[in-house]
Amino acid sequence: MAKWWGFGLLAQFGVFFAAAPAAADVISLRADDWCPFNCSEAKKGYGVEVAEQVFAAAGHTIQYQLAPWSRSLEDCLRGEVDAVIGAAPVDSPELLFGDEPIGQWDSTFVVKAGNSWRYDGVASLERVKLAAIIGYIYMEPVGQYVETNKKNKARVTQVGGTQPLDQSLKMVAAGRVDAAMESRAVLDYKLRQMGLANSLAIAGGTRSGPIYIAFSPKHPKARDYARILDDGIRAMRADGRLKVILDKYGVGDWK
């Protein structure tokens, strides 16, 4: 991975030659399925599409693959992959974040249609059995509740894999758990995609915060790539290319 150097000029014997550009790099990007931010390896998601366009303009390639979130995060922190998508600063203080987020996250709850339960602070969680995704950090105070009760199967059922939200929503629909939680943008997309918009209902949620593509602290050029991404997102917003991608996924700009 290298930052974009552009083209220089070399003067020799009165003749100018263009210097060779820096070698193109392949940037490995990992996360579990978190559509519409990042989806399957075929559909990608708007965040992956934005990253591909930004880094292609700088001469680089994104290699995007799905992997369980906990493993993706650990591999990124160790330097075995270059970046993760859908990260928040609370995921790890070691990750390197730029200034431009790729969206907003929160913890919004979903229950089976007809269930009258609604999230009304942490005390209300004691009345339901939750599905919580392994390795995820939830917006507070929900995150602390999950951490405290993750071994209490009467209150929290932990779900893993590369498509844990799909599994969680199916569990709610089948009555195996009372509620699941995810970012509102992700829930809205998934309920439509899975045909569950009439079977499940939104049941309140927490405040929201920004999410990012974050880079490995082990990579010496991570700051260069964060700067490229920041500049690219700003340029795509300014000239309308960002809106074109977001419209494909039915998502509005977060700024």
* Inter-residue contact 222 to 228 (CB < 8 Å): no
Q: Nearest 5°: phi and psi at 200?
A: -120, 155
Q: What is the pLDDT of residue 42?
A: 84
For the chain, which residues make up each domain, given as ranges? 25-104+209-248, 107-205
State how far the Cα of 253 lies from the Cα of 126, in Å rounded to an integer.
Answer: 35
What pLDDT, on a 0 to 100 scale, did the predictor assign at position 15? 38
CATH for the stretch 25-104+209-248: 3.40.190.10
> Which pLDDT value is given to residue 140?
93
pLDDT of the chain along its 255 residues, tens only?
Answer: 332 333 333 333 333 333 334 578 999 999 998 999 999 878 899 999 999 999 999 999 999 999 999 999 999 999 999 999 999 999 999 999 999 999 999 999 999 999 999 999 999 999 999 999 998 999 999 999 999 999 999 999 999 988 899 999 999 999 999 999 999 999 999 999 999 999 999 999 999 999 999 999 999 999 999 999 999 999 999 999 999 999 999 899 998
Residues written for the chain: 255
Instruction: Name the 3-class secondary structure at 230.
Output: helix
Peptide bond between residue 141 and the one before it cis (omega within 30 degrees of 0): yes
Domain pair 25-104+209-248 / 107-205, same fold: yes
Whether the predicted model's global pTM rises above the 0.85 cut: no
Neighbours of 224 (CB within 10 A): 16
Give the whole-angstrom CA distance, residue 166 versus residue 95: 27
Q: Does residue 237 contact residue 150 with C-beta atoms inside 8 Å?
A: no
Q: Give the type of residue at 80.
A: E
The CATH superfamily assigned to 107-205 is Periplasmic binding protein-like II (3.40.190.10)
Name the amino acid, one letter, at 136.
Y
